[in-house]
Amino acid sequence: MIYPFVDRRPVSELAPETERLRSLLADLERIQIGHHPDGIELAGAPTIEHWSLAERRTVALVGKVNGHPTIPNGRSACTSDLWFIAPALGYARTLNRFYALGERHHLSDRWDFR
């Protein structure tokens, strides 16, 4: 989900997403220390049959990056999933980090953020 905003007001619309991410984080932290779900917990979970892995498209930013911790300056890159973008405020938040937004690509009119 992407949340485009143009001002500095509080963003109450993020509440459901932040709660969902808190829940995911709590589960991942439990698994990280070896507390995997047991049969009782999984008994209440949906079952998926005949499953396989799939890939989904997601929205991200692409462009030339400067100041990234692992990508050399001036190199073209694609970010992780885009979660929040505020072009008028000069920033975006991806799954991994904040980005300061520089000049927009002149052909990037698919998304009309003001």
In a domain, 22, yes or no: no
Answer with the residue of higher pLDDT: 43 or 5. Answer: 43
DSSP character string of 81-93: -EEEEEGGGTEEE
What burial class does residue 33 get, using C-beta atoms within 10 Å of its C-beta: 0-12 exposed, 13-18 middle, 19+ buried?
exposed
In a domain, 29, yes or no: no
pLDDT at 114 over 70: no
Tell me what percent of the residues of the chain surpass a pLDDT of 70. 92
In a domain, 23, yes or no: no
Q: Which tens digits make up the pLDDT trace of 60-103?
A: 999 999 999 899 999 999 999 998 899 888 999 999 899 999 98
Mean pLDDT calculated for residue range 51-64: 87
In a domain, 16, yes or no: no
Please, are residues 30 and 22 in contact by the beta-carbon 8 Å criterion? Answer: no
In a domain, 14, yes or no: no
pTM of the model: 0.72
Residues forming a β-bridge with 65:
75
What total of structural domains would you count in the chain? Answer: 1
Confidence of residue 22 (pLDDT cuts 50, 70, 90): very high
In a domain, 33, yes or no: no
Mean pLDDT calculated for residue range 105-114: 62
In a domain, 46, yes or no: yes
